Amino acid sequence: MPPRLTTTPSGIALGPLDQIADGAARGFVIEMKAGRFHGFVVRSGDRVTGYLDRCPHMAAPLAQRLDDYLTDDGTLIRCAWHGALFGRDDGACVGGPCTGQTLSPWPVRVDNGQIVTA
C-alpha cells in the first residue's frame, strides 16, 4: 500500500466549485508518485476550506461514509469514529476527545470557479 501523504503541491485542479453543494463537504484522494493524499473541502458560499482527512485524536479518517464530514445540521465537522467536533472555518476541536487540538489545514482556493490546491 502506498504511503499516506500529508501535503500536496499547489496548482492541482480538484474540479468546479459547484461539485460541492453550498454548506457541504467533499473528500478527495490524490494519487502522486510518492503516495496518496486524503483530504476534504468544506464549502461556504464562494469560499472553500480544506483539511487533511485525519482526526488528531486517533489519526483515523473522519468519515465512515463517502463525503459524510459534517454534523446533521452542517454547522460542524464531525469525526464519525469518536464523536469529536471541529469548527468549519478553523478546524479547532470544540468537543469530544481531542479538546485543544485542531485538524491539519490543507491549503485550497477557488480560482475562476475551480477549486485548486494552494
Per-residue pLDDT tens digits for 43-78: 999 999 999 999 998 888 999 999 999 999 999 999
Q: Measuring CA to CA, which residue among 93, 108, 105 is closest to residue 46?
A: 108
Question: Quick one: cell of 24?
Answer: 457541504
Q: Is pLDDT above 80 for 1?
A: no
pLDDT band at 2 (very low <50, low <70, confident <90, very high): confident
- Average pLDDT over the chain, rounded to an integer: 96
Share of the chain above pLDDT 90, in %: 90
How buried is 18 (Cβ within 10 angstroms: 0-12 exposed, 13-18 middle, 19+ buried)?
A: exposed
- In the chain, % helix, strand, coil (3-state, to 5) comes to 5, 45, 55
Q: What is the pLDDT of residue 95?
A: 95
The whole-model pTM stands at 0.96
Which residue type does 88 have?
R
Question: Quick one: cell of 63?
Answer: 468519515
CA-derived radius of gyration, the chain: 13
Which residue type does 63 have?
A
